[in-house]
Amino acid sequence: MAVRKLGVLTSGGDCPGLNAVIRAIAHHAVSNYGWELWGIAYATQGLRQRQAIAIYPHSFDRQGPDPLLCSGGTILGSINRGDTLAQQAEILAGYADLGLDALIGIGGDGSLAILQQLARAGGWQFIGIPKTIDNDVAFTERAIGFDTAIHTVAEALLNLGSTAASHDRIMIAEVMGRQSGHLALHGGIAGGADVILLPEIPYRLPELCHYLQQLRDRWQRRYAVIAIAEGTHHPPEVDRSHAGLGEQLAHAIAAHDARLEARVTVLGHVQRGGQPVASDRLLAAQMGYAAVERIAAGASGEMMAWQGGRVVGVALDSVCLHSPTLVDPHSALVDTAAGLGIFLGDRNLAPWRGSACPTH
């Protein structure tokens, strides 16, 4: 069926680069294919409530650079909670009432799985675009927002490093990444962390403290920066009565060696905000363009994926099956971190080896 009205929505936790994807879709779909583009408010809630706005190219850039290219967040709004599938009938009815011929959904693995289910039930022509600072969507080397979040984490770690050095302290930064440590690993290496703790690699407290003592005694490095992913599992010797992973670690380190004074920073939603870096804007342009091309070609049930320097289409069903992806404890990047002398815990204790997904 020929496309006349294309919908676009953003779903799940926001991240930088979403507006740049919407912009790319608008330019290609409206200017080149002559379709109408409708932005759906608040993901599937907008379908249910029939809330959509027409999006045109050049709406915002008549007086200067396009804010859609550079702004964080999503102009459409998003949701990352609620039992969406319980509202399936209303959502499908809303989609039909809006008269959409096809839909592009920008989301993480959870949102894409829900949208794929709705698309199948409703017979929608649907294409997904991966976004998440966690970068744990299978079969894509990069999701929108990840590069910017790496930059944010790395900058924060560098800032922590300079104040840590002034006071001979251990700085612990809690990094986002619900189940996976991709962001902590990439941001930690780029930000010069001495220790990177991940959900995927177990560590023992005595070894960690020994490493910190060695830094001090052997190299006269009297401070250290620790990046700890939010899903990390502490070993039994860490007392969990304090609130928060970072605080628990800080107390455990100080209890082990009183010379090791630690402070904690929870980077939190700062990691999801801000302007997308150039590489995220570039990825957004390529994924937005490619998604429109796939819609024009009549494709459905695909996700745009970044593999080997280009965008390809992969089956959404396999993406959902293999997501979220974890850090491979034996990947080249983990080897690199270990080679740089970063403490990562004990990779031989990692319960899981190798990636189910060839691109992670």
For 29-33, the CB contacts below 8 A with 24+ separation are 29/292, 29/295, 30/55, 30/56, 30/57, 31/57, 32/292, 33/3, 33/292, 33/296
Shortest Å distance, C-beta 198 to ligand F6P: 13
Instruction: Please spell the DSSP secondary structure of 40-63, one letter per residue.
Output: ETTTHHHHHTT-EEE--TTSS-SS
Looking at the Cβ atoms of 178 and 221, the one nearer to ligand F6P is 178
Minimum distance of ligand F6P from residue 211's CB (angstroms): 26
Closest distance to ligand F6P from the beta carbon of 180 (Å): 9
Select the residue interacting with ligand F6P from 45, 74, 84, 132 (CB under 6 A).
132
Taking the complex as a whole, how short is the minimal distance between the CB of residue 344 and ligand F6P, in angstroms?
A: 20
Helix 182-190 and helix 332-339, axial crossing angle in degrees, nearest 10: 40
**Is 134 an annotated catalytic residue?**
yes
Please, what is the minimum distance in Å from the beta carbon of residue 149 to ligand F6P? 9
Q: What gap in Å lies between CA 37 and CA 54, rounded to an integer?
A: 6
Among candidate residues 187, 227, 189, the one with its CA nearest the CA of residue 208:
227
b/e sequence 160-182, b meaning 16+ C-beta within 10 Å: bbeebeeeebbbbbbbbbbbbbb
Q: Three-state SS for 26?
A: helix
In the bound state with ligand F6P, the residue whose beta carbon lies nearer, of 178 and 210, is 178
Length reported for the chain: 360
10 Å Cβ neighbour count for 220? 7
Provide the mask over 233-272, with x wherever binding to ligand F6P is found by CB under 6 A and - wherever it is not.
---------------------------------------x
Which of 40, 52, 113, 133 is the binder for ligand F6P (CB under 6 A)?
133
How many residues bind ligand F6P (CB under 6 A)? The answer is 11
Dist CA 71 CA 272 (whole Å): 12
Residues 4-23 contacting ligand F6P, CB under 6 A: 13
Residue 37: CB atoms within 10 Å? 24
Per CB under 6 A, contacts with ligand F6P among 267-286 are 272
Shortest approach of ligand F6P to residue 92 CB, angstroms? 26
134 touching ligand F6P, by CB under 6 A: yes
Q: How far apart are CA 336 and CA 294, in angstroms?
A: 37
Q: Read off the DSSP letter of residue 82.
A: S
Q: Which of residues 164-203 bind ligand F6P (CB under 6 A)?
A: 176-178
Q: Identify the residue among 17, 39, 77, 108 touching ligand F6P (CB under 6 A).
A: 108
* Touching ligand F6P, residues 68-97 (CB under 6 A): 80
Residue nearest to ligand F6P (CB): 176
State the catalytic residue, choosing from 61, 66, 101, 134. Answer: 134
- Is the CB of 140 or the CB of 300 nearer to ligand F6P? 140
The residue assigned the tokens 């290219």 is 69
CA distances in angstroms from 142 to 49, 174, 186, 332, listed in the order given:
32, 22, 12, 16
Q: By CB under 6 A, name the binding residues for ligand F6P.
A: 13, 80, 108, 132-134, 176-178, 230, 272
What is the set of active-site residues?
A: 134
